[in-house]
Every structure is written in C-alpha cells, then in structure tokens.
Amino acid sequence: MGLLDTETGKRRLLTVEIPVVEKYNEGRDPEYRIRLARVGGTLVLSYALKPGHNLYQIETRLLSSYPTVPPESRVITPLKHCPHLLEGQTLCLWRQGSTRTTSRWDPSRFTCIFAVQAAWRWLACYEIWHETGEWPLPEAK
C-alpha cells in the first residue's frame, strides 16, 4: 500500500501536495508548469527548469513510500556524466543510504516542491561544474 492507495496518502495528496503544486504553477509560463500523472502506484511530476543557460526536462517521482522516502528526480534531457549523477540520470539530492535522522529530506517539513527546488539547485551546480570542472557545493556526507 502506498501514497495513492492509503487514506493517509490520499489525504496528504489532497491537503498538502496538490495545493502546493497548484500554487507553484500559478502565473508560471505553461512550459514551466508541473504536470502530474499517475504511473502505477507512483505520482510523477513532469516539468522544465532553466537555472542558467540550458533548459532541462525533469521528472520527480513520488514513490509509494513517499513521504517517508524522499522523491526521486531524474533529468530526461541528456547530460554529460558527473560525479553527482546517479544511474538513469537520477540526481543525487539526498544522502544515499542515510537514516531518517541524518537525511537532508524531512517529510514533516518538505513537500514535493522542495524536490523541484533541489533539482533546480542541482542543475545550477551542474552548469557551473560543466564550465569549471568543480562542483560548487560541499559533498553530502
């Protein structure tokens, strides 16, 4: 049972996640609005981000274990491999293999929009890395 199958999950979607996506989309150019789709037990957010010079197509997946487990964001637009890019062009946004107390993800404070903002920040770092060869933020430990 997951986010889309349980009453608790549905309640979170209706009272927290969907309203915050609608607020994010308000007044935004249609190309940059988040589109939602259900794929099995997963809710997929599709959107475009332009942190600098390039436009990127992104998918953020809210898995059935969301919000306990953080969203997974991946870039659809082909990228040059870098040390902070995981398999399948998944972004390294959260501390991999961390516990809930040591993770950057806090389900009591963050919504799916936090993942969108984290993806924007990651892409901004990627563009800097692409130009300089150095990742501008400290490593997750």
What is the DSSP secondary-structure string of 94-110?
S-TT--TTTSS--TTT-
Model confidence at 12, pLDDT cuts 50, 70, 90, reads confident
| Structure-block tokens of residue 64 | 């059935």
pLDDT at 113: 95
Q: Distance (Å, rounded) from C-alpha 128 to C-alpha 134?
A: 7
Phi, psi of 95 (to 5 degrees): -70, 115
The answer, yes or no, to whether residue 139 has pLDDT greater than 90, is: no
List domains and CATH numbers for the chain.
Answer: 7-132 (3.10.110)
pTM of the model: 0.88
Residue among 99, 17, 138, 33 nearest 66 (CA):
17
Q: 107, 113 in Cβ contact below 8 A?
A: no
The answer, yes or no, to whether residue 62 has pLDDT greater than 50, is: yes
Peptide bond into 67 cis (omega under 30): yes
65-to-11, 19, 34 alpha-carbon distances in Å? 14, 20, 21
Name the residue with higher pLDDT: 3 or 134: 134
Q: Distance (Å, rounded) from C-alpha 109 to C-alpha 82?
A: 29
Q: Distance (Å, rounded) from C-alpha 35 to C-alpha 63?
A: 16
pLDDT digits (tens, 9 = 90+) for 90-135: 998 875 544 445 567 888 889 999 999 999 999 999 999 999 999 8
